[in-house]
Structure 1
Amino acid sequence: MQRRIFLKTLPVGGAGILLPQVKGFAYENTIARPVGPIIEGNDRAYWAGLLEKIITPVLENLSKNRLKANMPLEKPGDYNTVAEKVSYLEAFGRTVCGAAPWLGLPDDGTAEGNVRKILHGYYLQGMANAVDPNAPDYLNFRQLPQPLVDAAHLCQGILRAPERLWEPLNKETKERFINELKQLRRITPAYNNWLLFAAMVETFLLYVRHEHEPLRVLVGVRKMQEWYKGDGWYADGPDFAMDYYNSYVIHSMLADVLRINAERSMIRREEYEQALKRMQRYGVLLERMISPEGTYPVIGRSMTYRTAAFQPLSQLALEHKLPEALSPAQVRCAITAVMKRMFSNKDNFDSKGWLQIGICGSQRMVADPYTSTGSLYICTEGFLALGLPADDAFWVSPPAEWTAQKVWAGKPVLNDHAAHY
């Protein structure tokens, strides 16, 4: 039985800004810091409370033009770019990429809804600040290659909930953002998953009915199709590497690019359907990687991206496109187990609530030379299923064991075999 929460509003900051005063939340320096879930007793409450904890520092500080002033810039000793120029856009673009479906839900009168409404407001103001050349938190889209990556994540996020994340923006903010996107054509993408970033930016411009370059879309799509190795796995470039870039970028971004271009009759629908089948096969493999204890193999680069390793599973659940072998309940329970195993370590966050480099806690040695604080917010990609309403079967179905739980308890399980699409 869920605990009832009584809400009252507390004025904070500028005129007209109201934060819900919710039992279980403490407000310090106007930033909501959860000390417990929004509503106790279910998986959705846990996901929502954890996502709120992750994204609030980014969205609120940017909305108040304080992101550059307040976000730490943790990085490894062999860091190879300029964190002051790239990390802030990394944090914002990646936060929006994963949180978009949740922020895109309609307003309601629930405790979760009230917190979500505040965060949505932070996003809208933060987006305006991010592209305002006169704002203290004007983000860098114009120097170094890295902004192509995180502008693409931001585009993908907006496209996941355009009615709430694009339409409400004022005309000036939209025009400024579009201008920032168009100048990214100065960047020649690396010959790997970066081709999809260029494709995503141009796909966004297509979606909002602005001039776009189809060739940058087609190159990204065709190279990924060429690099498909079989059984749900793409190579990240000409050579195959055993890592989670199929999760972090390739499956979800390729599918989204293909879907939107197919809807605009720029690409055949069959190409999207093929990519979806490949993502479903990969989702089956991801689910089988989650151990009974909620751990998963720590392999490959960018392991600091944490729950982004399960983006395809979460996206398939969000879109009601899970393969027949996976029930919504078993996917929910498996991903929840990972989250609890990972985030039960308090050292994932610093004393002010910012993510720290690591996988399960503070583990700076695992960082790659391109990893800084902003990079870590791609973990929100694992939370995409929060965009499902609270009464969806994904949330309300009784708990179910996932594959590894059943295997190691000696229970019947389905066999597994390669799929070729």
Structure 2
Amino acid sequence: MKTICRIVIGLLCCLGITISGNAQKNKKQDLPAIKNVKQSDRQFWVQTLYKISYPVIHHLAAGTLKKMMPVQKGDHYHLVAEEVTYLEAIGRTMAGIAPWLETGPKDSSEEGLLRTRLNNELLIGLSNAVDPDNPDYLNFEKGNQAIVDAAYIAHAFLRAPNTIWQPLDSITKSRFIQKFKSLRNRSPYYNNWLLFAALTETFLMSIGEEYDPARIEFALRKMKEWYIGDGWYKDGEKFSIDYYNSFVIHPMLVDILKERNKLGLTSKDELDLAYKRMVRYSEFLERNISPEGTFPLYGRSVTYRSGVFQALAQVALMQKLPEHIKPGQVRAALTAVLKNLFQGSQNFDKNNWLILGFNGNQSNLADHYTSTGSLYMATLAFLPLGLPASSPFWSDPSADWSAKKAWSGNEIHKDYKVDY
């Protein structure tokens, strides 16, 4: 194990990268600058995702995450933050950056160097996360919250098997497998949490490990019951207006069914229906983006910021946008949102950690389960970075999105409900 770590650290040094020194000091990390005078949308996305995720990944690799990550909590926080917030930060960050890391061979471009740096440090960090002798050893054993954030780690492994899962050494892999299986002594809550338990088991299934089919099948059965139409699922027995169809339900449900379909456990018709419902829901998200690049705040977990748009981002990543929603308009709309949230410094502290709030330090908006680590759901809007720069999402000209067209008096696609 130590030999492997030394080899990886040597590779980092060849790139002029270290995981000590600055990591031991609580100071702002220097971000490699993209030299172009005028940034493309993709360059802005890359630098923004890197800025958000680098402190989390870098300090985990250095074994200093628990030492350096500030821990803010909501006013009525009810968990033991030190037992959950670090796993939250890692799992959620990983799930957002995974498609970008999986984009293919590393290259010497400015984007490629950033991606290589983050990927190499993440591999070291994942070894640290499950090493009992490391100061950043993460808690999977205490409390129910681990069910949630183990699922985001598993989701990242599914999204980037070639760059995050496969390169791990055998000891680290076996430790993660054991950690995932250890969650079976706890029951998920009777809502979207069923999908967290199912997603972790789905990952185990995908790598040929022993898994619990009951946790998967129960979640799928409840999702069928909780579908209420027009692309919306209830989050449990009662319907509520919030963004959990995007934070959790559509992305995880689709990916569970996709993995089962590969093994012949889910029919193509069932998978296609889940896709259609997710695409329909993504239409609502696109229409929610105002001409100015803002969006309505309703329901819980609004401190997850851009994570609100995970379902739209994943539909774009899958290249399944409906015909009347062009890739260039989704890119333009999401870019406007991301610039409103992250182009300034209002949502970061002096060391580039996310702060508790929506668009500033607004701790009153935090829920009773929200701490600093929770905020890294924001990375989930960046999934389209998993598409190559040559794809229509990145290469098509920018276009006005639905609300911008409507409020400018231009033609817009007329919206109707769907019956599937």
TM-score class, shorter: over 0.9
User: Which residue matches 1:7?
Assistant: none
TM-score by length of structure 2 reads: 0.93
Residue 84 (structure 1) aligned with residue 77 (structure 2)? no
User: Which of 99, 102, 126 is the equivalent residue of 1:101?
Assistant: 99
Instruction: Quote the residue 1:403 is aligned against.
Output: 402
* One-letter amino acid of the counterpart of residue 358, structure 1: G
Q: Give the Cα separation in 2 of the matches to 1:17 and 1:94.
A: 24
Deviation at 1:168, TM superposition (A): 0.6
Q: CA deviation at 1:141?
A: 0.4
1:153 and 2:152 matched: yes
Distance in 1 (alpha carbons) for counterparts of 2:46 and 2:15: 15
RMSD: 1.8
Deviation at 1:76, TM superposition (A): 1.7
Aligned partners of 2:352, 2:51: CA distance in 1, in Å?
7
> Structure 1 residues 203 and 14, CA, compared in 2 at 3 Å: closer, same or farther?
closer
Q: Deviations 1:274-327 (Å, cap 9, x if unpaired)?
A: 111000001111101100000000000000011111111111111111111211
Q: Relative to total residues, which structure has the larger helix share, 1 or 2? A: 2
SS state at 1:202 partner? helix
- Residue 32 of structure 1, CA deviation: 4.5
Number of residues paired by the alignment? Answer: 405
| Alignment of structure 1 residues 18-417 onto 2, 5 Å | 18=13, 29=22, 32-34=29-31, 37=34, 39=36, 40-105=38-103, 106-417=105-416
Sort the Cα spacing of 1:38 and 1:101 in 2 relative to 1 into closer, same or farther, 3 A: farther
Alpha-carbon distance between aligned partners in 2 of 1:344 and 1:199, rounded to the nearest angstrom: 36
Structure ranking higher on relative contact order (CA contacts 8 Å, 6+ apart)? 2
Q: Which amino acid aligns with 1:73?
A: V
Which letter maps to 2:12? I
- Quickly say closer, same or farther: Cα 1:290–1:36, change in 2 above 3 A: farther
Cα distance change of structure 1 residues 123 and 409 upon mapping to structure 2, 3 Å threshold: same
**Structure 2 CA distance for partners of 1:21 and 1:325, relative to 1, 3 Å:** farther
Q: 1:262 to 1:16 in 2, by over 3 A?
A: closer
- The alignment partner of 2:30 has SS state of strand
Distance in structure 1 (CA, Å) of the matches to 2:91 and 2:294: 27
1:194-251: per-residue Cα shift (whole Å, max 9, x none)?
A: 0000100100000010000111001111101110111111110010010000010000
Partner of 1:189: helix, strand, or coil? coil
Deviation at 1:159, TM superposition (A): 0.4
Q: Which runs of 5+ in 2 are unaligned?
A: 1-7
Is the CA contact 1:247–1:311 (under 8 Å) kept in the aligned structure 2? yes
Q: Secondary structure at the match of 1:220?
A: helix
Contact in 2 for aligned 1:33/1:53 (Cα 8 Å) = no
Partner letter of residue 77 of structure 1? D
Percent pairwise identity: 48
From the superposition, tell whether residues 84 and 38 of structure 1 become closer, same or farther in structure 2 (CA, over 3 Å): farther
Normalising by structure 1, what TM-score? Answer: 0.93
Letter in structure 2 aligned against 1:17: L
